[in-house]
Chains A and B, each alone.
Chain A
Amino acid sequence: MSKQGAGEPAAAGFSEMTEKMLKAAKLLSQIKDEDVDVGTTPKNLVMRRDKVELFRYEPLAPRSIETPVIIAYGLIGRYTMADLQPDRSLVRSLLSQGLDLWLVDWGQPTRTERWLTIDDYVDDYIHAAVVRVCREIGRDKVTLLGICEGGVFMTCYAALHPDKVKNLVLTITPIDFHADREDPDDHHGFLNVWTRSLRSEDVDRLVDVYGGLPGEFMSSVFSQMTPMRSLTKYNIDLIDIVDDEAKLMNFLRMEKWLADRPAHPGEAAKQWLKDLYQENKLIKGEFVLSERHVDLAAISASVLNVYALNDHIIPPTCSRALREHVGTDDYSEIPLPGGHVGLFVSSKSQGVLSKDISAWLAARD
């Protein structure tokens, strides 16, 4: 009798799970791909250069900050993380604060973009976007808002073209790629450890063979950082939320964003992994773009550096390092709770990040 009694909760739990699994299967079969939409905030194409596109978002509130803000995400993943769904969108929140928001979308690089370097991204694509925005609105300077690798590109641009940048806003951006060693949380910085474990020629070989850094490959490295979460996501986690339509759609949008991972252009990937992750050239002042050293001390724009306290991909120590090297006296930091992606998409962080950014920009407009 006692054995049977002990097994009852497990049997009931199993029965409940089976019921939910059937329900999940039925529900998922009814949801179409187009129902899971991401990056839907209205925007207009202003310029196309190769596969790179410059958009201007339609305003959602009267203009309160005049200096235009250009957002750029990295080449690992897509910008849609900043505009996942209407109630979880940094883009929408910033527009609601009255910002004039522009977006540089890198598109879907393939083997065709194999030879593009970070030099091209910074000195050609970003520069062309900045020049175009300035021309459109009749101003000399802009605000740059970079996310992750996009933050590194924006930092380099601000150092190489200080005359064009009024403010530099960085979010979850690595600057010192070896500062993960100073992070006390040993769950942080696996990407740094993993990249350093490779030889320089391993990176070359990988990129040369595939003509770039395959998106699928980088996805598997990211999955490795949260191993059990990756294993339980499509069973336990999915079944848990199947009764809640809003949560289910949020889950599916996140999955769509995660699956939308284009290949990282080859030569730029070599610079990213070897020059920055392995050799840490940016912080040493040895990183060279377009035959010029990127000198962080040359950044004269006001800088806002936002990082996530529980960021396991870009440890906070890697971001905070900028403080010691940046040229401007107007440097601010905002540490926020949450992880790398959670900073943008979690329900808790909604509004917090955009309010902090817009208040900081308003004070400098």
Chain B
Amino acid sequence: MSEDIKPADILAQWTEAWRSMTAASTDIGEAWSKSVLPFVLARATESKSGMGAGNELADAIERMTQGPRLADVVDFDRKLLSTFSAWGEMQKKLAAYNVVASRAWVKAAEKYRSASGADNKAASGEDWRALLGSWTAIANDELLANQRSDEFLRVQRELLQAATEFRTRQTEISETVTKIMGLPTQSDFDDVTRQLTELRRELRALSRRVDTAAPKASANESGARQ
């Protein structure tokens, strides 16, 4: 039996097994990161039972001074998995995008080959600039036409969606780290700038009202004096 098995078959089997395992582990990671399990585990590791009960405030203070604990680690682990999963998804979308984007180049090459073959330009030793010029014109037209196709726009949109999802999860990681370090997060910064913008708007609206009211008031005042 063993003599019938070729090295190529072993390699194929091994590759298939590896692919299945990778897919399964990604699925598990995704399922884990999206389930309520990490949250429950985090809560479980934080809660005390028995003798520890009743001293929550002291524990909380102690935790605050100690920094990351198991709950944070579990949560961080979940976020890492989630980011990894988003990265995998983005790579998939990138590959799909590249397939559609590359079609224009293939088409352009075919068109160029048939055009230059018909004129026999390359064989005639025509100036390389003229050859480049005709290649550029053909490729440009093909790329532009491809970009406007529904399929291209769809894969590009999906890539953008995957990239923003990945970035969102990356931000979650950075926010977790900055929180652990006791630093303000990006969300904190956005909150502050939002408040600042709103405050500025209110102040300026008030200032405009005062400016408008002032001449009226002084006109009324002088009218009353007369």
Contact = CB atoms under 8 A, between A and B. Distances in A.
Interface of A: 5-10, 13-14, 50, 111-116, 120, 124, 186-187, 190, 193-194, 197-199, 202, 205-206, 209-211, 224-229, 232, 236
A13 B129 contact: yes
B193 interface: yes
B85 interface: no
B128 A206 contact: no
Range, interface on chain B: 35 or more
Given A115-B193, A228-B140, A202 B160 contact: yes
Contact of A205 (B125, B148, B164, B198): B164
B201 interface: yes
A13 B144 contact: no
A118 B194 CA distance: 15
B168 A209 contact: yes
A199 to B, nearest CB: 7
A198 B200 CA distance: 33
Interface string B112-150: 000000000001111111001000110110011101100
B144 A190 contact: yes
Given A5-B125, A193-B148, A198-B160, A227 B197 contact: no
15 contacts: A9-B126, A9-B127, A9-B128, A14-B128, A114-B190, A114-B194, A115-B198, A116-B197, A190-B144, A194-B153, A202-B160, A211-B186, A226-B140, A228-B137, A236-B132
Contacts, number: 85
Contacts of B200: 50
B176 interface: no
B161 interface: yes
B125 A227 contact: no
Interface in B27-60: none
Interface in B161-203: 161, 164-165, 167-168, 171, 186, 189-190, 193-194, 197-198, 200-201
A26 to B, nearest CB: 23
Contact of A120 (B126, B137, B171, B201): B201
The 3 closest A-B pairs by CB, nearest first: A6-B125, A197-B153, A115-B197
B156 interface: yes
Contact of A7 (B125, B140, B144, B154): B125
B206 to A, nearest CB: 13
Interface of B is mostly: helix
Nearest to A205: B164
A183 B167 CA distance: 37
B157 interface: yes
Contact of B157 (A8, A116, A199, A227): A199
Contacts of A199: 157
Contacts of B139: 227-228
Contacts of A225: 144
Contacts of B189: 111
B204 interface: yes
Contacts of B198: 115
Given A209-B167, A236-B132, A197 B156 contact: yes
B125 A124 contact: no
A215 to B, nearest CB: 16
B127 A13 contact: yes
Given A194-B153, A199-B157, A209-B171, A6 B124 contact: yes
Contacts of A113: 193
A124 B204 contact: yes
A204 to B, nearest CB: 10
Nearest to B135: A228
Contacts of B157: 197-199, 202
Contact of A206 (B144, B164, B193, B201): B164
A198 B164 CA distance: 13
